[in-house]
Structure 1
Amino acid sequence: MPGIGRSGRRNALLCTATAALLAATACGSGSASGSGSGPIKVGASLPLSGPVADASKPAYEGYKVWLDQLNKSGGLLDRDVELKVLDDGFDQNTVVTNYNRLISQERADLLLGTFSSKLNLPASAVAERSKMLYVEPSGGAEEIFSRGYDYLFFAQPSTSLDLPEQFVNWVKALPAGERPKTAAYPTQDDPNTDVTIAEFRKELSALGVKSVYSEKYAPDTVNFDSIASGIARAKPDLIVHGAVAINDGAGLVKALQKQQFSPEMMFQTNSPSVTGSYPEAVGTKNTEGIFTSAAWSPKADYPGNAAFVKAYTAAYGSAPNDDAANAYTAGQVLEAAVKGVGSLDQKKLADWLHSHTVQTIVGPLKWDERGVPDGDMLLAQWQNGKFEFVAPESQKTVDAAVNPKPGWS
Structure 2
Amino acid sequence: MTPSRRSIKNMGNNDILRGEAMDRGLTRLTALIIILIVVIAAAGGGAYYMISRRRAARKPIVVGAALSLTGKYGRTGEWYKLGYELWVEEVNKKGGLLGREVKLILYDDQSDPTTSENLYEKLITVDKVDLLLGPYSSAIVFPVSSVAEKYKMLMVEGGGNAKKIFSRGYKYTFLTLPGLAENITLGLFKFIESLPPDERPKTVAIINAKDLFPEAIAAGAKYYCKKYGLEVVLEEEYPKEATDLTPLLTKVKGVNPDVLIGGTYFPDSVLIVKTLKELNWRPKIVFLTVGPAMPEFWETLGEDAEGIMGESWWEPTAPWPGVEEFVEAFREKYGKDPDYHAACAYAAGQVIEAAVKAVGEIDHTAMADYLRTHTIETIVGPLDFTEAGYPTLGPLLIQWQDGERVILAPEEAATGKAIYPLPSTWS
TM, length-normalised to structure 2: 0.85
Q: Which position in structure 1 is the counterpart of 2:300?
A: 281
Contact 1:269 1:293 in 2 (8 A): yes
Deviation per residue, 1:186-237 (Å, 9 max, x gap): 1011222212211112212333322222211122111111112111212111
SS for the counterpart of 1:111 is strand
Aligned-partner residue type, residue 233 of structure 1: G
Deviation per residue, 1:238-257 (Å, 9 max, x gap): 10000122x11101111111
Structure 2: distance between partners of 1:392 and 1:66: 28
Bigger CA radius of gyration: 2
Q: Which position in structure 2 is the counterpart of 1:165?
A: 186
Q: Which position in structure 1 is the counterpart of 2:272?
A: 252
Task: Tell whether 2:420 aligns with 1:403.
Answer: yes
Contact 1:160 1:195 in 2 (8 A): yes
SS for the counterpart of 2:356 is helix
Structure 1: distance between partners of 2:57 and 2:426: 60
Task: Tell whether 2:117 aligns with 1:111.
Answer: no
TM, length-normalised to structure 1: 0.88
2:144 is aligned, of 119, 123, 133, to 123
Q: Which position in structure 2 is the counterpart of 1:316?
A: 334
SS for the counterpart of 2:106 is strand
Deviation per residue, 1:304-358 (Å, 9 max, x gap): 1101000111111110011111101111111111111111111111011111110
Structure 2: distance between partners of 1:200 and 1:35: 51
Q: Which runs of 5+ in 2 are unaligned?
A: 1-54
Q: Which position in structure 2 is the counterpart of 1:300?
A: 318
Q: Which position in structure 1 is the counterpart of 2:37?
A: none
Q: Which position in structure 1 is the counterpart of 2:20?
A: none
Q: Which position in structure 2 is the counterpart of 1:80?
A: 101
Contact 2:65 2:106 in 1 (8 A): yes
Comparing 127-136 and 199-208, the one that deviates more: 199-208
* Higher RCO (Cα < 8 Å, 6 or more apart): 1
1:61 is aligned, of 78, 82, 87, to 82
Contact 1:44 1:85 in 2 (8 A): yes
SS for the counterpart of 1:221 is coil
Structure 1: distance between partners of 2:277 and 2:320: 39
Comparing 203-212 and 374-383, the one that deviates more: 203-212
Q: Which position in structure 2 is the counterpart of 1:22?
A: none
- Aligned pair count reads 372
Structure 2: distance between partners of 1:110 and 1:210: 47
SS for the counterpart of 1:193 is helix
Task: Tell whether 2:396 aligns with 1:387.
Answer: no
2:347 is aligned, of 311, 329, 338, to 329
Return the offset for 1:374. Answer: 2.5
Task: Tell whether 2:171 aligns with 1:150.
Answer: yes
| Structure with the bigger percentage of helix | 2
Aligned-partner residue type, residue 292 of structure 2: P
Q: Which position in structure 2 is the counterpart of 1:4?
A: none
SS for the counterpart of 1:260 is coil
Structure 1: distance between partners of 2:228 and 2:339: 32
Structure 2: distance between partners of 1:258 and 1:206: 33
Structure 2: distance between partners of 1:381 and 1:395: 13
Structure 1: distance between partners of 2:214 and 2:352: 26
Return the offset for 1:408. Answer: 3.1
Contact 2:63 2:131 in 1 (8 A): yes
Contact 1:288 1:405 in 2 (8 A): no
1:269 is aligned, of 280, 289, 299, to 289
SS for the counterpart of 2:326 is helix
Return the offset for 1:372. Answer: 1.7
Deviation per residue, 1:258-310 (Å, 9 max, x gap): 111111111001111111x111222x211121111111121123111101000
Q: Counterparts of 1:364-379 in structure 2 under 5 Å?
A: 364-379=382-397
